[in-house]
Amino acid sequence: MAGVAGDRSGKGLDFTMHPSPSSSPVADPSAELWQSAVRVLDTNWSGDHTVPSRRLYPHQWSWDAAFIAVGLAYVNPTRAWRDLRSLFEAQWPDGRVPHIVFDPATAEDDYFPGPGFWNVPVYAGRPARRSTGLVQPPLHALAAWEVYRHAAAHGAACVSAARTELAWLYPRLVAQQEYLTERRDAGGTGLASIVHPWESGLDNSPAWDQALAAVPADHTLLARYQRRDLAVSDAAHRPTDEDYARYVGLVLSYRDSGYSDSELIERHPFVAECPAYNSILAVAELALAQIAGVLGRPADAGRHRDRAREITTALSRRLWDPASASFRVRDARTGRLSPAHCVSGLLPLMLPDLPAEQVQAIMADVRSERFRLPVPSVDRTSPAFDPHRYWRGPVWVNVNWLLRRGMLVHGFRGAAEELRRALLRLVHEHGHYEYFHPETGEGLGAPTFGWTAALCLDLLADRSAPAYSRT
């Protein structure tokens, strides 16, 4: 199903940031942090969508758009909906939502790999939106539900507009889910597979090391291209050239197959089942159930809840490692579980139907010296732990925000409040950085990062308890 193009000019729409709504944050009344978060989102607004950061990430990223919409719900719901629409206008006919939608106003060589590298086909019947052919975690249904949930704070007209936006997004969100649950179930296990570490959003996590070892690292590929990230970021904080050689090789493999998802295990060198990705996939079904209810589609709501339970059951059985009492990534090509103990294994806590013993094991991990709050991206005691290098150790606000939702789902309100305060303290003291040193709190990566700012607004407002808490 192709995304239907909208009016990208923004004419007649109010994109002006508004102050905090009447239900402004009271649990942690930091006006300074609230206003600084609003300034970051304002700075990163392109006129059509929000970029993660101006220099390092000058285009629109898929799951960034979802997290950013959650924060914009408080200060500018019109922008929140526009961000989601802008992304879904680039949806492919097969339902996939690309992980990057390229801004035509940005030069080709301002980001690598740029639109020319991806060579994405232009389909008849839809405008040519330059994008990648990969996907990212399908967090958008949850984001849409959150924006709708907060619409009442902005008045009756905002509620009416929100229902219109939900009606536009719903079939596109369903198409995204169907693409992932049908075309990407490479192993026939009931779980979606990813074909590139970038699809997880956890790019250089040690969770991929074992599977990536089988992917050739052709350094001659990098000789033909220039990494733009190293021009604006410390190389010690970014994925290595070895990583990038494999990343580029995987893109070429997938691109040269025409981005086909048939027989992935037989012909593509990297196919993995990720507990974080599939947890978000199930959460998306729960959010779609809420949206279907609002739109007067009770039968569809029931089907979404059933799918969420099915994904939860498959994840619980296939990605659980009894020996370590933790969730691990599984290489779909070899069947082997990754030995890496990472934040991806904590995010199944978001699932209300997760077995109680697995819930308790995750919380034991969170409270242990291996993680602690706010949790780092990798077990602190692991040999792979690197406190500076991207997803190999630093603290990220977005995955901690998801973990907090899981705590609320299962009634761990004390831990959820501890985590909320720890995240706000971290950002208040060090700034709206992309990620943070897990011991010192030093801000790392991009300094004015969109989802850090957006999720701070949600944490300050403290209204993120999901509607599907376990009862």
CB 466 within 8 A of CB 405: yes
Residues 6+ apart with CB under 8 A from 243: 203, 204, 212
What pLDDT score does 433 carry?
A: 98
Q: What CA–CA distance (Å, rounded) separates 74 from 359? A: 31
What is the identity of the amino acid at 363?
M
**Comparison of pLDDT for 29 and 91, the residue scoring more:** 91
Residue range(s) defining the domain that contains residue 258:
31-461
Q: Is pLDDT of 452 > 50?
A: yes
- Cα distances (angstroms) measured from residue 275 to each of 115, 153, 248, 418: 30, 35, 24, 24
Q: What is the CA radius of gyration of the chain?
A: 20
**Comparison of pLDDT for 15 and 420, the residue scoring more:** 420
Mean pLDDT of 341-346: 99
Q: Residue 52, Cα to own-chain centre: how many angstroms? A: 12
Residues 6+ apart with CB under 8 A from 217: 242, 245, 246, 249
Write out pLDDT tens, residues 378-400.
999 999 999 999 999 999 999 99
User: 330 - beta bridge partners?
Assistant: 273, 337
Burial of 267 (0-12, 13-18, 19+ CB in 10 A): exposed
CA dihedral 212, 204, 176, 117 (to 10 degrees): -80
pLDDT range class, residue 193, cuts 50, 70, 90: very high
Q: Is residue 292 in a domain? A: yes
Q: What CA–CA distance (Å, rounded) separates 191 from 272? A: 10
What pLDDT score does 30 carry?
A: 75
- Degrees, nearest 5: CA angle 161-180-41: 45
Give me the CATH number covering residue 55.
Answer: 1.50.10.10
Q: Is residue 12 in a domain? A: no
CA-nearest of 370, 465, 373, 351 to 423 is 373
Q: pTM score, two decimals?
A: 0.91
Mean pLDDT of 320-344: 98
Q: Is pLDDT of 127 > 70?
A: no
Mean pLDDT across the chain, nearest whole number? 90
- Cα distances (angstroms) measured from residue 136 to each of 44, 192, 355: 21, 11, 26
What does the DSSP assignment read for 184-236? T-TTSSSS--BSSHHHHT-TT-GGGHHHHTTS---HHHHHHS--SGGGTS-GG
Instruction: Annotate 321-366 with three-state secondary structure.
Output: ECCCCEECCEECCCCCECCCCEHHHCHHHHCCCCCHHHHHHHHHHH
What pLDDT score does 217 carry?
A: 84
Mean pLDDT of 336-363: 98
What pLDDT score does 471 carry?
A: 43
Which of 236-255 are b and which e, b meaning 16 or more Cβ less than 10 Å from the residue's Cβ? ebbbeeebbbbbbbbbebbb
Residue 4 DSSP label: P
How much of the chain is helix, strand and coil, in % rounded to 5?
50, 5, 45
pLDDT range class, residue 106, cuts 50, 70, 90: confident
What pLDDT score does 242 carry?
A: 83
Q: Is residue 16 in a domain? A: no
Catalytic residue positions, numbered: 203, 434
**Comparison of pLDDT for 93 and 227, the residue scoring more:** 93
Total count of domains within the chain: 1
Mean pLDDT of 148-160: 90
Mean pLDDT of 306-321: 99
